[in-house]
Amino acid sequence: MEEEEAVEREKLWESVKELAKAVEADHTMVFSDNFIADMPKSDNIMFVTMDEQHHLKALKTGYKSLLLPIPILESESLFKEAVSYARFRGVCRKEETVLCVLIKDRYFERIHLLKVEETLNTPLYHFLSGCDYDVKVVKAVYDLTLLLSREGLDGEPVGAIFMIGDQENVLKRSSQLSPNPFKEKPASILDKSNWPFIRAITRLDGAFILDERGMVISACTYLIPGSRVHLPPGLGARHMSAAAITKETKALAIVLSETNGKIRLFHKGGLVVEVDPRRTGSLVRD
Q: What is the pLDDT at residue 220?
A: 96
Backbone angles phi, psi at 175, to 5 degrees: -150, 160
Residue 274, classified by CB atoms within 10 Å of its CB into exposed (0-12), middle (13-18) or buried (19+), is: middle
Q: What are phi and psi of 48, to 5 degrees?
A: -120, 125
Tell me how far apart the alpha carbons of residues 240 and 236 are, in angstroms, rounded to a whole number.
6
Helix (H, G, I), strand (E, B) or coil at 187: strand
Q: What's the one-letter identity of residue 255?
A: V
pLDDT recorded at residue 286: 40
Distance CA 146, CA 33 (A): 17
The CATH number, out of the four listed (3.40.1700.10, 3.60.15.10, 3.40.50.300, 3.40.50.2300), of the domain defined by the range 131-275: 3.40.1700.10
Closest residue by Cα to residue 145 from 245, 269, 32, 238:
238
Q: pTM of the entire structure?
A: 0.77
Least Cα distance to 263 among 238, 226, 230 occurs for: 238
d(CA 231, CA 236): 9
Domain layout of the chain by residue ranges: 2-120, 131-275
Q: Can you identify the CATH homologous superfamily of domain 2-120?
A: Pyruvate kinase, C-terminal domain (3.40.1380.20)
Burial (CB count <10 Å: 0-12, 13-18, 19+), residue 111:
middle
Query: What's the confidence (pLDDT) of residue 283?
Result: 58
Is it true that 2-120 and 131-275 share their CATH fold? no
55 to each of 24, 39, 66, 67, 136, how far by Cα in Å?
27, 14, 7, 6, 15
Q: Given this model, what pLDDT does residue 151 score?
A: 92
185 burial (CB, 10 Å; 0-12 / 13-18 / 19+) is: exposed
Which stretches of the chain score pLDDT less than 50? 281, 285-286
DSSP per residue over 208-262, as a string? EEE-TTSEEEEEEEEE--SS-----TT--HHHHHHHHHHHHSS-EEEEE-TTT--
Q: Closest Cα to residue 256, out of 267, 247, 266, 246?
A: 266
Q: In whole angstroms, what is the distance from residue 5 CA to residue 31 CA?
A: 20
Helices (H), the chain: 2-22, 52-61, 70-73, 78-88, 123-129, 135-151, 167-172, 195-201, 237-248
